[in-house]
Chains A and B, each alone.
Chain A
Amino acid sequence: MPALVSKSLRDHRRSLVRWTIGIGAFFALYLSFYPNISQNQDLYGDAALEKFPEAMRDLMGGLTGFTTGTGYLHGVVYQLFGPMLFVVCAAVLGNQAIARPEESGTLELTVTLPIDRRRLVFERFAALALGLLGVAAATFLLAWGLSVATDMGVAFDRILAAHTGVFLLGLLFGALSLAVGAAAGRRGPAMAVVGVVAVGGYIVETMGKNVDAVSWLRWVSPFHYYLDGKPLYQGFPGGDYLVLAGAAAVLLVVAILAFDRRDIGV
């Protein structure tokens, strides 16, 4: 493994373990409620959830089929909280690549090593992707295990499809935070851009289904390419996932070009 990749992974080791435990704990807590909910059709059935305003149901991803395994898993884990946790985790990792070491001053020695600047960004991104993949793999196994333990009856490949989408979405936001950090050299702007794109993108995608004024914006929302294909219901939306991966690759190129032509630490 290239020196910078293994070094970054070593540096991120603790934070990766903490994120895995945190996301895992969230999954475990929410999925443990499922047996109770599936047995209370009156309280959580479609008819009961109809009473919520439509816009709110849209924001929560529709809130249908909450008492079925797929509906519940989608509603509490894969609609909003799961993706957002991965987005934040990836954005933090993206900031660790350039912006944070530049702010603290540790990047100074790194850029004077005999490593091309473009390779430096690429290797830091590779570490981000591998670290995120590790968190995704561990939490996927946990989600699948819990779904089996609570008799959700959701197929292995559907959970894999949804989890892959969450990973790709995270990777995209990680690349976004890396790109802004590589261009600006500061964490603040990177976090602001990620926050605006994530929250704005989510609202546009969910509300846009019923609000014509913003529906045309859905295609620029990263969440569109994860949620629209309903991976937990319909399996891998291949084309959409390629868009997510492609956008991450484009952002990586932007990060590399921006970092290569810039003064460091001024």
Chain B
Amino acid sequence: MTAVVETEGLTKFYGRRRGLEDLDLEIRPGEVFGYLGPNGAGKTTTIRLLLDVIRPTRGRMSVLGTDPRDPRVRGRIGYLPGELALEGRERASEYLAFLAGVRGGVSRDRITALAERLEADLSVPMGRLSKGNKQKVGLIQAFMHEPEFLILDEPTGGLDPLVQQEFLAMVREVRAAGRTVLMSSHVLAEVEDVADRVGIVRQGRLVAVEDVAALREKAVRRVEFHFDAPVPREEFEGLPGVRDLRVEGANLSCTIDGRPDALIKAAARFTVVHLVSAEPDLEEIFLTYYSEEEAHHARAGVQEPA
């Protein structure tokens, strides 16, 4: 199957300022790709290049197998801009009907169903909508025509936690239907629940692409066991992945790197009263990884002949 997005050396300069440089990115059909980076790193630049809102300085890209300059390809994409502007006296329902018409038609029931799901009121003039409600209208217009490819720039901004959960459920449904999603965020926590892979951009460059499942596997997590009686320390020493082991009477705590299997099997020989396992903080791993990468780049930079 051909990639949904394929870029090669994609570069964008705004005058002399670098927006994005030498991006080689592949997004595969049916995956949810999380696109991460701090503000101003080049996420929105990438997205706007893919939609032909801005034009590359150099490099090559294809979206859904075609050049994004072809307007027809945009009908197969759903797009939520990072800074969505909705204004005026027009009602959201009228605006959605207009967008739906241009994209080839969407049933009124579909729009109503999405609005109910996100608890959006479409009868209010758009200029009077709150930020969160504008974001809901933006999500509805991106999802309503069931596009093959969804591009969502900072989709969760302004949404309350319940709506955020509903939104993530919608993203999962899109993936389950075999369609593809690119969503950007400046924090990993927002995308780690739904993303299959994440890419990190910093200062206009893609510094890493990682599989989220692999990242989880690498994750270091803190575990505590409480037993009904004191346990011998030797039983737990030297288990694969177990570090920082502390045994104090009936309590055991450690961190595990990777799979917890060996530790669980060792603990199962005793009576476990209580188990605490903190959710691994992928963000932390990522940042560690990321700063190593940075340091590596910095060294490479120093070694380069002037």
Chain A 101-115 interface 0/1 with B at a Cβ cutoff of 8 Å (1 = within): 000111011011111
Chain B 45-73 interface 0/1 with A at a Cβ cutoff of 8 Å (1 = within): 00010011111000000000000000111
| Chain B residues, CB < 8 A from A106 | 85-87
A200 at the interface (CB under 8 A from B): no
> Please, how many angstroms separate the alpha-carbon atoms of A106 and B90 in the complex?
13
A18 at the interface (CB under 8 A from B): no
The stretch of A63-71, A173-181, A258-266 in contact with B is A258-266
Known: A11-B88, A264-B54. A114 touches B75 (CB 8 A): yes
B101 at the interface (CB under 8 A from A): yes
Known: A3-B98, A263-B53, A266-B54. A113 touches B86 (CB 8 A): no
> Please, how many angstroms separate the alpha-carbon atoms of A1 and B176 in the complex?
38
**Contact yes or no, B98 A7, CB < 8 A:** yes
**Contact yes or no, B98 A112, CB < 8 A:** no
B141 at the interface (CB under 8 A from A): yes
B186 at the interface (CB under 8 A from A): no
B83 at the interface (CB under 8 A from A): yes
A116 at the interface (CB under 8 A from B): yes
**Contact yes or no, A104 B103, CB < 8 A:** no
For residue B44, give the distance in angstroms from its CB to the closest CB of chain A.
Answer: 10
**Contact yes or no, A105 B83, CB < 8 A:** yes
A117 to B, closest residue via Cβ: B71
**Contact yes or no, B81 A109, CB < 8 A:** yes
Within 147-188 of B, Cβ neighbours of A (below 8 Å) are at none
| Chain B residues, CB < 8 A from A11 | 88, 90
For residue A5, give the distance in angstroms from its CB to the closest CB of chain B.
Answer: 12
Within 124-157 of B, Cβ neighbours of A (below 8 Å) are at 141
> Please, how many angstroms separate the alpha-carbon atoms of A10 and B90 in the complex?
9
A106 to B, closest residue via Cβ: B85
Max chain B Cβ within 10 angstroms of own Cβ: one of A4, A104, A105, A113: A113
**Contact yes or no, A114 B53, CB < 8 A:** no
> Please, how many angstroms separate the alpha-carbon atoms of A11 and B102 in the complex?
16
B79 at the interface (CB under 8 A from A): yes
| Chain A residues, CB < 8 A from B103 | 113-114
**Contact yes or no, A113 B74, CB < 8 A:** yes
**Contact yes or no, B53 A112, CB < 8 A:** yes
> Please, how many angstroms separate the alpha-carbon atoms of A113 and B98 in the complex?
11
Max chain B Cβ within 10 angstroms of own Cβ: one of A3, A109, A261: A109
**Contact yes or no, B86 A111, CB < 8 A:** no
B77 at the interface (CB under 8 A from A): yes
> Please, how many angstroms separate the alpha-carbon atoms of A115 and B101 in the complex?
12
Partner of B55, one of A4, A104, A263: A263
**Contact yes or no, B71 A115, CB < 8 A:** yes
B209 at the interface (CB under 8 A from A): no
Could you list which residues of chain A lie within 8 angstroms of chain B, going by C-beta atoms? 3-4, 7, 10-11, 14, 104-106, 108-109, 111-117, 261, 263-266
6 A-B Cβ contacts within 8 A? A3-B98, A105-B84, A105-B85, A108-B84, A113-B71, A113-B102
Given contacts A108-B53, A265-B48, 14 further A-B contacts (CB under 8 A): A3-B102, A105-B81, A106-B87, A109-B79, A111-B51, A112-B74, A112-B77, A114-B75, A114-B102, A114-B103, A263-B14, A263-B53, A263-B54, A265-B53
